[in-house]
Structure formats: C-alpha cells, structure tokens
Amino acid sequence: MSGLPPVVVVGAGGHAKVVIELIRSQGHYEVAALLDADATPRRVLGVEVVGDDDALPRLRSDGIANAFIALGGNALRLKVAGRARSLGFQLVNAISPSAAVSPTARLGAGVAVMAGAVINAEARVDDLAIVNTNASIDHDCVLGEACHVAPGCALAGGVTVGRLAFLGIGTVAIPGVRIGEGAELGAGACVVKDIPAGVRALGVPARTVETRNNAR
Ligand code: JB2
C-alpha cells in the first residue's frame, strides 16, 4: 500500500498499459485495479484485472472514488465514462511529466497526455481527449470531448477538433482549420481546409474518401 488514493483503470489493453505508467509517473494515485471486457484473471504491468465493467458498482462501494477510462475507441470511452460517472466516480487525468502543458491551457477530466506532447497557450482540451505521444497542439486550439490526436500530430494555432474525432498518426493541420465531430483523418493527412463532421479523409492535402456516421 502506497498511501496514495486508489484509482481504477477501465481497460487492460495497449492504451491501459501506457495510462498505468503515466499515472504512476505522476505519483498522485495508486492504480488499484483494472476492469476489462475480458475479465480473465491476470495481471497487466502488475495490476490485477478484477472483473468487467459490471464490477464498477462494487469497486465504488469498496471506497474507490477515482477512475480513468483507458479505452482507445472514442465512442466506447465516452460511453463507459458516462457509466462510471453515473456511479459517482471522478475521472482523473493521466498527464506525462515529460509533456509540456502551458499554464494557460485548460484541461478537462479523464484526459490523457502522453510523453513529449506539447499543449500551448490558451488551448482547450475537453474531457476524455487523448493527446498522444509527441503530438503538438499550438495556442488556442480546441480539442473536443473524447477525441484522439494520435502520436506525432502537429496542430497549428487555433485548430478546432470536434468531439469524437480521430486524427491518425502524423496528421498535420494548418492554422485555424476546423475538423468536424467524429471525423477520421488517415495517417499523415495534411489538413488545409475544414473537414466536415463524420467523414473519413486522407492524404496531402486531405480529401474526403468516405462519409461515415459511426464515430470510432
Ligand atoms: O466495454 C468495454 C470494453 N470493450 C473492449 N469495457 C472494458 N472495460 N474493456 C473493454 N474492452 C477491452 O479493451 C478489450 O477486452 C481489450 O482488452 C481492450 C482493448 O485493447 P487494445 O489493445 O485492442 O486497444 P486499446 O483501446 O487499449 O488501445 C488502442 O488505442 C490506443 C490509443 C490501440 O489502438 C493502441 O495501439 C492505441 N495506442
């Protein structure tokens, strides 16, 4: 027992591994348990998988008040977060000590910011967003709820990313462009004009290849 307040991490896959190490590196919480749809008893990075999401009420009544939803799928993360919040869990943040987050940036709850990420002045990062490894978010950007900015993305100043949007690895976006809710950008896309909600776009410059309605 570390004496730190316990947190349950929901998910036990690749994203959860990264999140467990972020939470440990922050030193504010002890990762006490994992929940996964595959409830097979096992340990991940030394933390026990104690059940699936149906174990949330038990953990809450056992006194665990903090949760982190470590599921990479945006829509799934949002859904499971709603369930955890309705049971009274507080969503904590997992922020790498080697991320550079401006003191004037505003971060919501349940946010992950990985190593090497940069979030500059007066950017806003809403609840459940993922700012992945080495992503760069310049001043005045707005990242919507439960979006995912994958490793190595570079967003110039004033870019807006809609809720549930997914920016694949290495996406770049020029100043002020708006990426719509649930849009998906393929790896290496270069966004030079607004991307409508719900579309999949690829390439340099990014062009719509598919109109999608189901957010990832
Ligand atoms: O509803 C669920 C649920 N559905 C799937 N609740 C809970 N608690 N767990 C769920 N899962 C579990 O999520 C699966 O059983 C599996 O263990 C885990 C997904 O693992 P995977 O490694 O496939 O993906 P991930 O979401 O952890 O990570 C993805 O997103 C990250 C941001 C991957 O694409 C990573 O490469 C990426 N870095």
> Average pLDDT for residues 77-92, to the nearest whole number?
98
pLDDT at 124: 99
For residue 73, give the ligand 1 atom closest to its CA. 26
The answer to whether the beta carbons of residues 46 and 95 sit under 8 Å apart is no
Tell how far the Cα of 9 is from the centroid of ligand 1, in angstroms. Answer: 12
pLDDT at 92: 98
pLDDT at 2: 83
Protein residue whose Cα sits closest to atom 37 of ligand 1 = 15
> Average pLDDT for residues 63-77, to the nearest whole number?
98
**How would residue 216 be classed by pLDDT, with cut points 50, 70 and 90?**
low
pLDDT at 210: 78
Tell how far the Cα of 1 is from the centroid of ligand 1, in angstroms. Answer: 27
Protein residue whose Cα sits closest to atom 32 of ligand 1 = 72
Residues with CB under 6 A from ligand 1: 10-16, 35-38, 52-53, 71-73, 76, 80, 130
Annotate 176-202 with DSSP letters as a single string: T-EE-TT-EE-TT-EE-S-B-TTEEEE
**How would residue 201 be classed by pLDDT, with cut points 50, 70 and 90?**
very high
**Interval 7-17: pLDDT, tens:** 999 999 999 99
Grouping H, G, I as helix, E, B as strand and the rest as coil, residue 124 is strand
Across the chain, mean pLDDT equals 97
Count of alpha carbons within 13 Å of 55, Cβ hemisphere only? 19
**How would residue 1 be classed by pLDDT, with cut points 50, 70 and 90?**
low
Give the span between the Cα atoms of 146 and 102, in whole angstroms. 20
pLDDT at 212 over 80: no
pLDDT at 90 over 70: yes
Protein residue whose Cα sits closest to atom 14 of ligand 1 = 37
For residue 132, give the ligand 1 atom closest to its CA. 32
Name 35's bridge partners.
10, 51
| Among 17, 50, 71, residue to substitute to test ligand 1 (most atoms within 8 Å of Cβ) | 71
Tell how far the Cα of 19 is from the centroid of ligand 1, in angstroms. Answer: 12
**Interval 111-160: pLDDT, tens:** 999 999 999 999 999 999 999 999 999 999 999 999 999 999 999 999 99
pLDDT at 38: 98
For residue 38, give the ligand 1 atom closest to its CA. 15
Burial class of residue 104 (count of CB atoms within 10 Å of its CB; 0-12, 13-18, 19+): exposed
For residue 53, give the ligand 1 atom closest to its CA. 8
Protein residue whose Cα sits closest to atom 19 of ligand 1 = 13
Nearest to 116 by CA among 74, 78, 152, 149: 152
pLDDT at 213: 58
